[in-house]
């Protein structure tokens, strides 16, 4: 019997964890989360970009767990705001992190910006590391437009505001099936999946 490859998902965000589990649905991979490793350190996300944060999470937690680890960092970049909120997306409106408060702040900042100039992109970096160091870092992106009010009940983060022009609906309206076909996170994980499956050490 072939032993499954083991992978730790380095996040404590339950909504993000659930989505990553769905996207990495593969019978050859046994997934763990940080709750499976009591005492796992909180990694300070102080990188200059998504890739640096993802790499740091993967490397630190791979050393702690001793297993192949996936680190991920993602967020929203709005052109009219010169790329903000960017790496500060989840804590855009301060602590504690709150999706609805972040969305309200974003709408306030874009109050006088017309629809054609509300272009934005979701960005995601995914990093793979084991106890010996960083293995691979990839990135994915999805373009959209920020709406004038939240719409839809699916997803999380800025999904109720993030309109996909092709569908003229937000990610929160489109639902998981369609989102998982085109999202920034889906694209990044598709890129890193070959490296996960090729990893030789089954721990």
Structural domains in the chain (count): 1
Side-by-side strand order, sheet with 69-78: 29-33, 5-9, 69-78, 119-130, 133-146, 162-164, 169-170
Does any domain span residue 203?
no
Q: Output the known binding site.
A: 11-16, 73-74, 156-159, 179, 184-185
Does any domain span residue 156?
yes
Along the 203 residues of the chain, how does pLDDT read in single tens digits? 457 889 999 998 888 889 999 998 877 899 999 999 999 999 999 999 999 999 999 999 999 999 999 999 999 999 999 999 999 999 999 999 999 999 999 999 999 999 999 999 999 999 999 999 999 999 999 999 999 999 999 999 999 999 999 999 999 999 999 999 999 999 999 999 999 999 975 54
User: Per the residue annotation, which of 36, 73, 98, 99 is the catalytic one?
Assistant: 73
Report the pLDDT value the prediction gives residue 203, as an integer from 0 to 100: 47
Does any domain span residue 158?
yes
Does any domain span residue 43?
yes
Does any domain span residue 27?
yes
Does any domain span residue 123?
yes
- Domain span at 109: 5-198
Report the pLDDT value the prediction gives residue 88, as an integer from 0 to 100: 97
CATH (domain of 109): 3.90.950.10
DSSP category for residue 23: H
Among candidates 148, 183, 177, which has minimal Cα distance to 164? 183
Q: Output the known binding site for Mg(2+).
A: 73
* DSSP-derived pairing of the beta strands 119-130 and 29-33: unpaired
Q: Is 73 a catalytic residue?
A: yes
């Amino acid at each position: 019997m072939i032993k499954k490859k083991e992978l730790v998902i380095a996040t404590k965000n339950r909504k993000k964890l659930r989505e990553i589990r769905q996207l990495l649905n593969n019978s050859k991979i046994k997934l763990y989360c940080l709750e499976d490793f009591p005492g796992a350190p909180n990694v300070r996300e102080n990188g200059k970009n998504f890739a640096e944060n993802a790499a740091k999470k993967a490397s630190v937690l791979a050393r702690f767990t001793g297993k192949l680890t996936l680190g991920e960092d993602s967020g929203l970049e709005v052109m009219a705001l010169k790329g903000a909120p960017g790496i500060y997306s989840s804590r855009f409106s301060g602590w504690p992190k709150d999706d609805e408060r972040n969305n309200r702040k974003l709408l306030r900042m874009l109050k006088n910006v017309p629809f054609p100039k509300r272009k934005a992109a979701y960005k995601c970096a995914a990093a793979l590391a084991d106890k010996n160091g960083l293995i691979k870092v990839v990135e994915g992106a999805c373009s959209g437009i920020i709406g004038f009010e939240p719409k839809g009940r699916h997803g999380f983060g800025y999904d109720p505001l993030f309109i996909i022009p092709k569908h003229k609906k937000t990610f929160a309206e489109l639902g998981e099936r369609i989102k998982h076909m085109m999202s920034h996170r889906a694209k990044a994980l598709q890129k890193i999946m070959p490296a996960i499956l090729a990893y030789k050490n089954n721990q």
